Chains A and B, each alone.
Chain A
Amino acid sequence: MITENFRILEVNLTTGRSAIRNVPGVETVLGGSGLAAKLHMEYSRPGLAWDDPSQPLVFAIGPLTGFFPLMSKTVCAFTSPLHGQYAESHAGARSALALRFAGIDALVIIGKAERPTVLHLGANVIEFMEAGYLWGKDALTTGKLLRRILKGSGHRTIMRIGPAGENKSAMACINVDTYRHFGRLGGGGVMGAKNLKAIAVEGNGSCELPQGKEYSALFADIFRKLTDTDMMRKYHNLGTASNLEALNELKALPWRNLQATSDPGIVGITGERFADDTLLRNAACSGCPVGCIHIGFVREKFHKDNQYLYRQVGYDYEPIFATGSMLGLTHAPDVLTVMDEVEKAGLDVMSGGVALAWATEALEKGVVTREQTGIDLRFGDAQGYMRAVHMLGGAVNDFWRTLAGGTMAAAARYGGGDFACVLGQEMAGYATGEVFYVAQGLGLRHSHLDTGAYTYDQSKAPKDVDKALAFLLEDERERVILTSMVSCLFARKVYDPETLRQCLTVLGGQALADGLDQAAARIQKLRWQARAAGGYDPMNVRIPKRFLEVETWKGRTDPQYLEELRLAYAGAIREMCGQD
């Protein structure tokens, strides 16, 4: 049910004290992205380093979380180790419902534990557990050990970091319930800096529901749309991996550090290939009947006497791009094997894959040496990449420690910036054209999900700066509503504005429903202001030369269109930041 105030749990790892706060603003910032930005602005200290103990780590859910299907995501907000500014990362699994049933709209963690710690929360529990024995353990082992230690099986979330997070890597993710992640912009590094190995949230409470039949009827109607129509088929059938073949066909799939955008090797890593040869089963986030999580299976012979081990690895389009085509791997089991090592290290798969692709080309071109890397890297060499993942996650020497700070940080030190595939952060797998390059390069999360720019590029839209800019701004505003709810973005066609208004109204949020458009515009600006508070200036963003060399189905990148759109979008962002 929608309440007047947010219920926030503030946990201070330095003092070991916690507080429940009633924070106003439900009608103005809704929840999720809006609430995360609001709390980050309130708690963060822009003049201090990202790893200063006073910097907050925020987890926020939305007004519809748990009440409707696919309202199943959590927004994690923090000051990014990559750029020292406001960052958001989104994840599902059980995280959102666990927070809902723990009775809070957001969790704010400040301070730094003296020793490695696990934070255990629930509707009636807040405790800090000494976890020195978990430090150094990989993300999967950490999850397994905590499942044994803590009660609440099946009705809790376990968010944890691997070695990359402990090493404060800017590409360290927070692993959520084994198969989901707060991947981008180094949230895992923030946990590592706080000596926080894991957060376990027990969903052991319950919430009231509206009286009458209206709520249940609306729920059933939305549930039917999700399960009885083809609207979500793409996501539970081949999953996002279906994009691989389509993008390769379009000359829009990055290969070997974006030296090519299409390759015949695609036959080994298409969505069909993964489904036919490796798909073990599907899984779902809690509260989502779609089941888009694809768990692949690979077995590995480790002894000549038919002794095998097996790995279960969650795959999606982005992980296959990052550990597959980007690294020149064209055999699905090899891709899953490298992906599994990335999971264990606790690295964001996209950042890690792109960083290794850059390192491979840098080594090939003599920008860095074998002595510096301590290992040979060759496109297509899965065994080499398995070792390299651990060197990157473990920050084992000067080179890997520098690269763990981001590919552009390594390029600044060693050279090779022209072929660093960095658009604000390591690129997502869409070499679709100018609008996407600008959108990810400048966008708030530097994510392919800030807007649907990759789709806009594929829509044969004319090279019109005004139209592209209008699309970027409007699409972001629409998505901000969903990320404030916090809906899975796969459900964006189901949760159109009118449906969202009905959902809010039936939960007693008539005022929220009536003010949705104004709230969206306000939150869009608020997030940018949170970004600007950390020193962000979109005018300073540059698109590396590699993106000008890219050949897509439309031909080469148009440098003039790219630059004009970059300037126009940067100007619009500055306006939203209140800088003009």
Chain B
Amino acid sequence: MKHLVASRMERCIGCHSCSLACARLVHKCLSWENAGIRILSSGGLSTGFTAKLCLVCDPAPCAAACPTGSLKQRKGGGVTQNKKLCIQCGKCAAACPVDAIAQDRQGNPYVCIHCGSCVEFCPHDCLELREAEG
């Protein structure tokens, strides 16, 4: 079971290539926000960047809050997503303690599923797909 970890964010240059790759390859759209990983300046560009993404909770409060089973607990932490079951209620986003789930204007949630599509588009190796311990 692999986890996406933003382990070297001090190297990040704020190019957003990772989140654009997630939007493009996983969610089939062009967007800054409709992505499982989102890059923000941490208090303006002068202070570097931070990544918002799923921190592989186990148990995952978002899965627990999902009333339809669209988000399910993933073995080893985090969630799997079945978009067809989503009713856009937003309870998952509200339940996430670290604001890692984005909602678009229609209420659809976007969460990292730890597929690693973003990793190869980071020019500075800020991200890694790491085998879960244990």
Question: Which residues of A pack against B, CB within 8 Å?
Answer: 66-67, 69, 97, 100-101, 123-124, 143-144, 147, 153-155, 177-179, 203-209, 216, 219, 223, 227, 281-291, 293, 295, 312
| In the complex, B13 has a CB within 8 A of chain A | yes
Please report which residues of chain B, range 33-85, place their CB below 8 angstroms from some CB of chain A when the two chains form the complex: 33-34, 38-41, 43-46, 48-49
The answer to whether A153 touches B24 (Cβ under 8 A) is no
Counting chain B CB atoms within 10 Å of each CB, the highest count among A124, A178, A205, A312 belongs to: A205
* Chain A at the B interface: SS class: loop
Given contact pairs A67-B30, A155-B38, A223-B17, enumerate 16 new A-B contacts (beta carbons under 8 Å): A101-B32, A101-B33, A124-B105, A144-B44, A154-B39, A154-B40, A204-B32, A206-B29, A206-B33, A207-B29, A283-B13, A284-B15, A286-B32, A287-B17, A289-B121, A291-B15
In the assembled complex, how far is the CB of residue B19 from the closest CB belonging to chain A, in whole angstroms?
9
**8 Å CB contact of A143 from B23, B31, B44:** B44
Q: How far is the CA of A101 from the CA of B32 in the complex (A)?
A: 8
- Chain B, Cβ-Cβ closest to A1: B30
Q: How far is the CA of A123 from the CA of B17 in the complex (A)?
A: 21
By a CB distance below 8 angstroms, the chain B residues around A216 are 24-25
In the assembled complex, how far is the CB of residue A325 from the closest CB belonging to chain B, in whole angstroms?
27
Q: How far is the CA of A266 from the CA of B45 in the complex (A)?
A: 30
By a CB distance below 8 angstroms, the chain A residues around B43 are 147
The answer to whether A155 touches B32 (Cβ under 8 A) is yes
**8 Å CB contact of A289 from B17, B29, B105:** B17
In the assembled complex, how far is the CB of residue B28 from the closest CB belonging to chain A, in whole angstroms?
6
The answer to whether A281 touches B48 (Cβ under 8 A) is yes
**8 Å CB contact of B123 from A204, A291, A312:** A291
In the assembled complex, how far is the CB of residue B36 from the closest CB belonging to chain A, in whole angstroms?
14
| In the complex, B2 has a CB within 8 A of chain A | no
Closest CB pairs A-B (n = 7): A154-B40, A206-B31, A284-B15, A291-B13, A289-B123, A284-B13, A207-B30
**8 Å CB contact of B44 from A147, A206, A295:** A147
By a CB distance below 8 angstroms, the chain B residues around A208 are 29-30
The answer to whether A203 touches B30 (Cβ under 8 A) is no
| In the complex, B6 has a CB within 8 A of chain A | no
By a CB distance below 8 angstroms, the chain B residues around A101 are 31-33
In the assembled complex, how far is the CB of residue B16 from the closest CB belonging to chain A, in whole angstroms?
5
In the assembled complex, how far is the CB of residue B26 from the closest CB belonging to chain A, in whole angstroms?
11
In the assembled complex, how far is the CB of residue B74 from the closest CB belonging to chain A, in whole angstroms?
25
- Chain B, Cβ-Cβ closest to A227: B123
| In the complex, B92 has a CB within 8 A of chain A | no
Counting chain B CB atoms within 10 Å of each CB, the highest count among A178, A282, A284, A290 belongs to: A284
| In the complex, B20 has a CB within 8 A of chain A | yes
Tier of interface size on chain B:
20 to 34
Q: How far is the CA of A179 from the CA of B44 in the complex (A)?
A: 11
The answer to whether A205 touches B105 (Cβ under 8 A) is yes
The answer to whether B105 touches A285 (Cβ under 8 A) is no
- Chain B, Cβ-Cβ closest to A178: B45
The answer to whether B104 touches A287 (Cβ under 8 A) is no
| In the complex, B14 has a CB within 8 A of chain A | yes
The answer to whether A284 and B44 touch (CB under 8 A), given A123-B105, A207-B31, A209-B28, is no
In the assembled complex, how far is the CB of residue A550 from the closest CB belonging to chain B, in whole angstroms?
38
By a CB distance below 8 angstroms, the chain A residues around B38 are 154-155
The answer to whether A206 and B30 touch (CB under 8 A), given A154-B39, A177-B45, is yes
The answer to whether A283 and B14 touch (CB under 8 A), given A124-B105, A179-B45, A289-B123, is yes
The answer to whether A153 touches B40 (Cβ under 8 A) is yes
By a CB distance below 8 angstroms, the chain B residues around A285 are 15
Q: How far is the CA of A293 from the CA of B45 in the complex (A)?
A: 11
Counting chain A CB atoms within 10 Å of each CB, the highest count among B29, B32, B46, B123 belongs to: B32
- Chain A, Cβ-Cβ closest to B45: A178
Q: How far is the CA of A124 from the CA of B105 in the complex (A)?
A: 9
By a CB distance below 8 angstroms, the chain A residues around B15 are 284-291
**8 Å CB contact of B30 from A143, A147, A209:** A209
In the assembled complex, how far is the CB of residue A71 from the closest CB belonging to chain B, in whole angstroms?
11
By a CB distance below 8 angstroms, the chain B residues around A177 are 45
The answer to whether A203 and B32 touch (CB under 8 A), given A223-B121, A286-B15, is yes
By a CB distance below 8 angstroms, the chain A residues around B24 are 209, 216, 219
In the assembled complex, how far is the CB of residue A226 from the closest CB belonging to chain B, in whole angstroms?
8
By a CB distance below 8 angstroms, the chain A residues around B20 are 66, 287
- What are 22 A-B contacts defined by CB distance under 8 Å? A97-B32, A101-B33, A144-B44, A153-B40, A153-B41, A154-B40, A155-B38, A177-B45, A203-B32, A205-B105, A206-B30, A206-B34, A209-B24, A216-B24, A216-B25, A283-B13, A289-B121, A290-B15, A290-B123, A291-B15, A295-B46, A312-B46
Q: How far is the CA of A101 from the CA of B104 in the complex (A)?
A: 12
Q: How far is the CA of A290 from the CA of B15 in the complex (A)?
A: 8
Q: How far is the CA of A285 from the CA of B43 in the complex (A)?
A: 17
In the assembled complex, how far is the CB of residue A225 from the closest CB belonging to chain B, in whole angstroms?
13
Q: How far is the CA of A123 from the CA of B33 in the complex (A)?
A: 12
The answer to whether B46 touches A178 (Cβ under 8 A) is yes
- Chain A, Cβ-Cβ closest to B50: A154
By a CB distance below 8 angstroms, the chain B residues around A147 are 43-44
- Chain B, Cβ-Cβ closest to A180: B45
In the assembled complex, how far is the CB of residue B98 from the closest CB belonging to chain A, in whole angstroms?
15
- Chain A, Cβ-Cβ closest to B110: A206
By a CB distance below 8 angstroms, the chain B residues around A219 are 24
By a CB distance below 8 angstroms, the chain B residues around A291 are 13, 15, 123-124
By a CB distance below 8 angstroms, the chain B residues around A287 are 15-17, 20
In the assembled complex, how far is the CB of residue A297 from the closest CB belonging to chain B, in whole angstroms?
10
By a CB distance below 8 angstroms, the chain B residues around A205 are 31, 105
- Chain B, Cβ-Cβ closest to A177: B45
The answer to whether B23 touches A206 (Cβ under 8 A) is yes
By a CB distance below 8 angstroms, the chain A residues around B123 are 227, 289-291
Q: How far is the CA of A432 from the CA of B100 in the complex (A)?
A: 52
By a CB distance below 8 angstroms, the chain B residues around A312 are 46
Q: How far is the CA of A287 from the CA of B105 in the complex (A)?
A: 22
In the assembled complex, how far is the CB of residue A124 from the closest CB belonging to chain B, in whole angstroms?
7
Q: How far is the CA of A207 from the CA of B104 in the complex (A)?
A: 12
**8 Å CB contact of B17 from A69, A124, A204, A207:** A69
In the assembled complex, how far is the CB of residue A349 from the closest CB belonging to chain B, in whole angstroms?
18
